[in-house]
Structure 1
């Protein structure tokens, strides 16, 4: 200990050494300990006399001494203060991370004779630093591999972006965007709004934390993104931190959902008066709503109710022949307990639903040609194998690229109608057969009637008229008048003209028929009145009725000439 703290007492030296927080030693140029403090002794589980006077290599081992300690001591003896950090094994403390300071010491102010070695246990600090470093690394990895784009913005320019942010906007890597203005990825419609949000946020003025906007990729493609933004301190500077998620696909799906609802509305409106009435109520109800979200919710609920409770079957199918959705009515129609059972059980619609799979191909040909098919009748199969008749109305639904994505339509069970039509056809055929038989009977009756009339006329001519001819020879005046009247009446009965008038104009009275015959024979109105014992006015009235029944009123036609034309 010669020369160490020469101006002080041993007690003062020990006080100074032992009150230090670190492990303190004094090593001479022979690499031998000349002084140690109590913390150093405790760390090595040794007494002071077990260390002082011993070489450093005997305490630390030759390998550690040569590799680590000796190089630092040599530099210190050369006049350089050496600082080192390392993990070391201390017998009493275990493995600790320490900061070791080698300070040159020259008691006489000339040559360096010793190295004052001060060791601080900084294990906790090192562990905290490593934990922080590990946390920062995890955060960096999380940011770099995040499914969301991340960007920090200073002023109006990008300070940092991750790879995902570059991918979203179509850039190869972050380097292409860092330092560029944020307007390079903003749609023209959004530049003022988003720039305002960013600057307000950096001034700690309120700005929305979550919003949607339109962006522009490097190639000019317009995309939709959702932004979550806040402000953070970065190097004593307030910057904007934004998380960006590409919602272009979600926006497209929302548009398809809206399109689907529109198709469903049109489909339902086209079916029955009952559904049209419901849809009209829905339309009026929707017009009265002021909030779009509330409108959508109510509309969806009502359409779902229609879908679930419609009398007709409603469906969606894939072009490959599987059900996407079906309502309970269709499930019951096809013999399934629930729509879910129908959707899961039927994997090949042409073979499981159609009695003849080729019929579906015919339907699809018409559908692809016209885009919609109405009331297409087909025979289908229920789950239990029973055959039913259905009438399907279906239309195609295409994507924005024009590709058919699904078919939507309704099915009406027309089995009863088909059965009724078949029964009606059978009854109609039976009635036609009965009608044919009736025509035969009526024809036979007409023939019998004609034969009877001919027989009566023949008997009058052969049996009655000869007797009248004999009576005419009687010279009695009264008898001659009666015979004349009798002869005229018999001739009228047997006249083909009057027979035709009676047959074709059955609405003439007997008196009108007698007057018709006399007019045709050229008898005047006065003579007819005298002959029939009636007034001239009565005869004129009969003549008027005759012209009316012959449809001659208002026509400049002579009645006798017309009657002669009918002979």
Structure 2
């Protein structure tokens, strides 16, 4: 409808509708009814028409129809109405109209309204038959589907009248009987069976009631070809409203193949029952609640039972009863719920006798018609021996992989087959991630031509090999190579054991150094005592002569030189005694922080102006057992040496801190004092002095603690400063560590056992 504003029209008088009762009828008829005059002006519309076109009341009356309906609908009615006016005869047809944007089906009737034999108006009626036509279409489609289902399906379909005569057969039944459907119609159901079977079938059909309207039966049927088929029928009685049988509907199937399969199945069951009973694997079937439904003798034997009956007699969830680790059973159930199947799931169980066993389980979940778990069935294999062997093998593999010694297996032609991470660490400094080709190239030092010749003769070889790692570090490795023979004595591989001897050799070197220092200390102590005995009368007598000699005596000058030389010799003797730990000292509880600050303060005047002193001392007191004078001497010697190593200036750092454990040997570090391996566990005070001077090569660092060893020019040093440091620190159960390299400065670290704060 196209709504427009109403306007007055000079229209001819409306035709007489006959009487008022007809207008009432038209008003309430369900068909949309309207009347137009010969000018196609609306003169009457009923309620159904207003609702159909969604008109606002009856304001369309007196207006042209073209203004009240859609253009396409008006054009179609206009043409048909003109034909009615011309002929004076009513017309009717089915049309499709677009109402409110929706296509609908109507039965339209156009009736001429005559006055004195002249058409004065046309009455139009629209009856909505959309739902009717849709129902008809669906009924026809349903009929076609039903016919197709009956005719095209593989099952046999027969309809019978109450007297058991065939009134319908499908093509499949006609093909089976080898006759057209027309020949079969009218015949009795079962007329081709022996009389006894036919009578029994009729009695069963007559016994069907409203409460029991269905029956099933089977029979054999001989085809015209002589072949015998076995048919299975399901017959349903259809009752009318009075409760009488109106017809029978029978659905049949040729079950000859199924019948044959059942016979084969019976034989197969016997065969598989034999397999079930005598299988080496445990076969089981348990219900959804975990109760065992069936198991074979093998499963009973695996679980430690005498027979399957003993397993079946025990109530409750079997898996929960035998579980050794709950997580195994929970993982099994999770996989079963997720995938419906479980393959090679390994789980540990407890046998009836209390021993543990390992099982490999394959299982599947069987669901019922409502997709709920009905049962679980599967097989279990005892893998206890295999798991034990795997455990031993993995233990061996872990031991080899985690071994501190390198292990390499090479083939007969000396190609790398396996190398553990320790070998990579020893020869390359890696962590087991070096590429195979690079590892194979690092075998060359171990497999020289002479070694290969010895191994080719079936002999063993052992020796030490000096290697250079990729970063330039030198390593000494001890190697042992032996042939590996098979059961017949033929060499199939060679095994190479490699041990890093660098640390041990360093320990040996440090031990020899310590022994040498110890021997020098003993010697120095003896020499110092004897030398002191010699110096005492010289210094005493010279001083006595000087005290009695007049000031202008020319001998005072040479005697003064004797006194000064004797005093220097006395200081040297004192340093020797300190190195040999035979000098006098006052040992007690000493707080290092104030001593370090005081010593550094005193040293500032003795250190060249270009050297910057940096002090790092904590506020917390650090107490050790030591002689203050000797600790002052230690720090003074270290600081003066550091300052002299920086003639061009630099930073000299002095620090003090507490550490939680004694020091351990480090690469590129020389240790003096007490051997590091013998240091007592516990907290230590770490006193360090570092410089950025010229540094020292390794050959010099190894000798700096030897008495009288010095790199200074003659007259600039005695070589006893660091020897005294070594002796003092060692006497207190501590150690000195030195790290230095040419051009990288030096770091001296003194470690002394730390006393508890409650003592300080």
TM-score interval w.r.t. the shorter chain? 0.3 to 0.5
- Larger strand percent: 2
With normalisation by structure 1, the TM-score equals: 0.39
With normalisation by structure 2, the TM-score equals: 0.30
